[in-house]
Amino acid sequence: MIQKKYKKDTYNIYTIKTDKFKTCHMEIVFRNNINKDEVTLRSVLTEMLVETSKNRPTRKEMIIELENLYNSYFYGITNRIGNSVLTSLCFDFINPKLVNEDIDNFILFPLDTVFNPNVKDNEFDKTTLEYIKERVKKDIESIIEDPKKYSINKLLTNMCEFTASGIDINGNIEDLDLITPTSLYNYYNEMIKHDYIDIYIIGDLDMDYVSTLIENNLKLNIYKDHEITYEVENKLTNKPIKVYDNYDFSQENICIGLNIDNITQYEKNYVAHIYNMILGGGSLETKLYNRLRNENSLCYNCSSIYQKFDNLIILHTAISKENENLAIKLMKKALHDMIENLSEDEIENAKKLITTTLNMSEDVPGRIIDNYIFKNLYGLEDIEVRIKKYNNVTKKEIINFAKKVKLNTILCVRDGENGKD
* Distance (Å, whole) CA 95 – CA 283: 37
* Distance (Å, whole) CA 302 – CA 282: 11
Burial (Cβ within 10 Å: 0-12, 13-18, ≥19) of residue 117: buried
* Distance (Å, whole) CA 182 – CA 376: 34
Classify domain 2-217 at the CATH class level: alpha beta
pLDDT for the residue 246: 84
Residue 246, helix vs strand vs coil: strand
As a CATH number, domain 241-414 is: 3.30.830.10
Nearest Cα residue to 191 out of 38, 400, 19: 38
pLDDT per residue of the chain (421 residues) written in tens, 0 to 9:
899 999 998 999 999 999 999 999 999 999 999 999 999 999 999 999 999 999 999 999 999 999 999 999 999 999 999 999 999 999 999 999 999 999 999 999 999 999 999 999 999 999 999 999 999 999 999 988 899 999 999 999 999 989 999 999 999 999 999 999 999 999 999 999 999 999 999 999 999 999 999 999 999 988 898 999 999 988 877 778 888 988 888 899 999 999 998 899 999 999 999 999 999 998 888 999 999 999 999 999 999 999 999 999 999 999 999 999 999 999 999 999 999 999 999 999 999 999 999 999 999 999 999 999 999 999 999 999 999 999 999 999 999 999 999 999 999 998 755 444 4
* Distance (Å, whole) CA 278 – CA 289: 10
Provide the 8-state DSSP code for 100.
Answer: T
Q: What is the pTM of this model?
A: 0.92
Nearest Cα residue to 172 out of 285, 358, 42: 42
Do the domains 2-217 and 241-414 sit in the same CATH topology, yes or no?
Answer: yes
Nearest Cα residue to 214 out of 225, 228, 199: 199
pLDDT for the residue 416: 57
Q: What phi, psi does 348 have (nearest 5°)?
A: -65, -40
CA distances from 302 to 21, 63, 238, 331, 414 (A): 36, 41, 26, 10, 17
DSSP secondary structure string for all residues of 111-128: HHHHHS-SEETTEE-HHH
Strands 405-414 and 73-81: unpaired
Ordered by start, the domain boundaries in the chain are 2-217, 241-414
